[in-house]
Homo-oligomer: A and B are copies of this chain.
């Protein structure tokens, strides 16, 4: 199964430009053999909003035709089985804005996820989601989705893995942070540890470009179930061929198992509001 991450550079506030770029990126990913195609967080809008009004101006509902356009492209994936995971600025039926991920298959928008852990100024514009991310049972394997800062909560990656995810896709915009020479971007280190401790694959699609002076890590990476980076970006695209069956069992040795060795009765502080 082939994962293709397209590290796009959305044009701030220009929905139509981003619509065209996203359709083209999915087409190219499918031409490259992609079955799981991942685009960044807020692909359709850009990220650095200064006001709620700016976000609302580029927000779309779940009935927007862009999802049908993405579906038409992913329908050409090898074997006719494919999935797009892409961030978009969502205007809910409730009139609220969400930092959401769309999951699109050849039939259209099959699921959405509203980011539950909002980063920094996102709290000024967006409403946090109230539902856990879905774990999709697909013919390609079981796939969960997160958006950016969600990844930095190990309870959440663990939860998706316990719910059966063999692959977690992360649509992200990682603001540039300094890190020591020779080290991965810090969010990649977090992905590596989450992959290894949960014995799952993790595919993170970051963005590129400069938006209102903001640069990005441009650290798109696919990590295998042992926690090692198996693909990074070449010419804007990261491609990895993965066997998700390697993430199905959690056995480490004949006597050790990453999940069976857990001691849930000791972890109650994790679910306490005031531990």
Contact A269 B120 (CB under 8 A): no
Residues of B within 8 A of A267 (CB): 155-156, 159, 270-271
| Chain A interface residues toward B at CB < 8 A | 116-121, 123-124, 128, 132, 149, 152-156, 158-159, 162-163, 179-180, 182-183, 186, 189-190, 192-194, 196-197, 226-228, 252-256, 258, 261-273, 275
Contact B116 A154 (CB under 8 A): no
Task: Kindly state the separation between the CA atoms of A255 and B227 in the bound complex, as whole angstroms.
Answer: 31
- Per a CB cutoff under 8 Å, which of B116, B128, B192, B226 touches A193? B192
Residues of B within 8 A of A275 (CB): 159, 162-163
Residues of B within 8 A of A163 (CB): 269, 275
Q: How many copies does the complex hold?
A: 2
Task: Kindly state the separation between the CA atoms of A212 and B229 in the bound complex, as whole angstroms.
Answer: 33
- Per a CB cutoff under 8 Å, which of B120, B123, B158 touches A270? B158
Contact B266 A270 (CB under 8 A): no
Task: Kindly state the separation between the CA atoms of A275 and B121 in the bound complex, as whole angstroms.
Answer: 33
Task: Kindly state the separation between the CA atoms of A132 and B121 in the bound complex, as whole angstroms.
Answer: 37
Contact B253 A264 (CB under 8 A): no
For A193, the closest partner residue in chain B by CB is: B193
For A254, the closest partner residue in chain B by CB is: B120
Task: Kindly state the separation between the CA atoms of A161 and B112 in the bound complex, as whole angstroms.
Answer: 32
Residues of B within 8 A of A128 (CB): 263
Residues A155 and B155 in contact in the complex (CB < 8 Å), given A190-B193, A253-B120: yes
Task: Kindly state the separation between the CA atoms of A132 and B2 in the bound complex, as whole angstroms.
Answer: 42
25 example contacts (A-B, Cβ-Cβ < 8 A) are as follows A117-B263, A119-B256, A120-B254, A120-B256, A123-B255, A149-B256, A149-B261, A154-B193, A154-B194, A155-B264, A162-B269, A162-B270, A162-B272, A183-B228, A186-B196, A186-B226, A189-B193, A190-B196, A190-B227, A193-B193, A264-B270, A264-B271, A265-B271, A265-B273, A268-B271
Most chain B CB inside 10 Å of its own CB: which residue of A154, A190, A196, A265:
A154
Residues A182 and B180 in contact in the complex (CB < 8 Å), given A120-B255, A121-B255, A155-B155: no
